Structure 1
Amino acid sequence: MGYKFDFSVVWDRAPELLLASLGTLGLALAGMAVALVIGIFGVAARTSKVRAVRAPAVAFVEIVRNTPFLVQIFFIYFALPLMGIRLNPTLTAIIALGINGGAYAIEIIRGGVESINKGQIEAGLALGLHKGEVFRKIVLKPALRAIYPSLTSQFVMLTLTTSVCTSIAAYELTSAAQIIESDTFRSFEVYFSVTVMYLVISSLMMGLFTIISRIYFNYPTR
């Protein structure tokens, strides 16, 4: 084997990779925010007793969860302009990530909501709380506490899914790696380094979620 490793090309382009990592984090955090909003409002619709409200939510979840993310982002970026809706790559990536993550968040949060004892809900209503207050104070927070580990794991997966956004030229880590690799032809060095960077990003995200859980949900320190 005559291949000689040369990581100097990665070191020389390190500022580009670090900046692209921030792009990845930006897409991931924005996508998570959109996904969480969709998840909260979606679960309210998903559990509604009104069929006209529940049916679209069920259809949304099934369509998104049973189609590839790549097809979803291509549809938003390439098909919607035919209807006069044109979005730049960054906004397209955020919306696609939010929609994809939101569909999974709806089902995860629904599982937590359905685990809440109905007696607690009835007690809240008996105390004179509005349905919105009951959902927010008695249902949502305990439900989020119960499903927090599953939800954060899904959000870490969403962070890694940002790599697919390079397919529409969104600026993130994989797209920067492709540019550097095409300039240097050092595939092993570039993608090995990017693999390590994704591992670091995932670890940082999990650390952030752990801190949030200890502050907001009073999870014990391991």
Structure 2
Amino acid sequence: MSYQLDFLGLAPYLPHFVAGIWTTIKLTVISTLAGLLLGTVCAAVKTSEGKWLKLLCTCYIEMIRNTPFIVQLFFVFFGLPALGVKLSAWEAGVIAMVINLGAYSAEIIRSGIEATPIGQWEAGKTLGLTRFQVFTRVVIPQAYQRVYPAIVSQSIIVMLGSAVVSQISVEDLTFAANFVQSRSFLSFESYILTAAIYLVLAILMRQAFSVVERMVFKNPSP
């Protein structure tokens, strides 16, 4: 038995794929920016002297890093409404992705902070900077430069993992693929195209991060 691929049969459904791509891009941009901010705050707390805040961040990080993303997504979408917090599918998807990236990036950024020589802290204090100023102007830039490749990889993983949000009816790229194959019965073609699009998005995302790296850091990491 032979099977003839019919990618032309997907042509009428291209607007659905385009809409799905746009939704995936928006989810990725928002969750990446917010997730890295959350991760930076948690990393700062983890390297501080606040015992209870450190414990709280540790519990959050370990809980997220050791549970499936889809469970976290379902908890936000189905669990929080039971507590009176009403969220749309889009909002739940963004929140779940931010929480997930925040936990993973916190440990990555923490390692970069702890790798910063103590002399950098002392030099900043000698110049009359407060601890907060030393942290934000001296330590964090160096920490990000050290762990930048790991941050890029984790952000791409979150983008690829965003496919799960289709399970709560967020109309992303995977949702579009499911819709198209259910209407056209071209399942093989739909998912080949979807996989190819995700591959292209991952490559473009890595290139975008490389551009940011060249703009922000004077000596980009190899």
TM-score with structure 2 length normalisation?
Answer: 0.97
Per-residue deviation at 1:119? 1.4
RMSD, matched Cα: 1.3
How many residues in Structure 1 have an aligned counterpart in Structure 2?
222
Instruction: Could you tell me which runs of 5 or more consecutive residues in structure 1 were left unpaired when the two chains were aligned.
Output: none
Q: Distance in 2 between matches of 1:219 and 1:185?
A: 51
Q: Distance in 2 between matches of 1:67 and 1:19?
A: 30
Alignment of 1:31-180 (within 5 A): 31-180=31-180
Per-residue deviation at 1:221? 9.8
Instruction: Could you tell me which runs of 5 or more consecutive residues in structure 2 were left unpaired when the two chains were aligned.
Output: none
Letter in 2 for 1:185: F
8 Å CA contact 1:10–1:193 kept in 2: the answer is no
Alignment of 1:25-36 (within 5 A): 25-36=25-36
8 Å CA contact 2:7–2:189 kept in 1: the answer is yes
Letter in 2 for 1:18: V
Residue 203 of structure 2 corresponds to residue 212 of structure 1: no
Per-residue deviation at 1:11? 1.9
8 Å CA contact 1:43–1:106 kept in 2: the answer is yes
Q: Percent identity?
A: 35
Per-residue deviation at 1:10? 1.6
Q: 1:221 to 1:96 in 2, by over 3 A?
A: closer
Q: 1:221 to 1:101 in 2, by over 3 A?
A: closer
TM-score with structure 1 length normalisation?
Answer: 0.97
User: Which shifted more, 118-127 or 178-187?
Assistant: 118-127
Per-residue deviation at 1:219? 4.0
Q: Where has structure 1 moved over 6 Å in runs of 4 or more?
A: none
- Secondary structure of residue in 1 paired with 2:61: helix
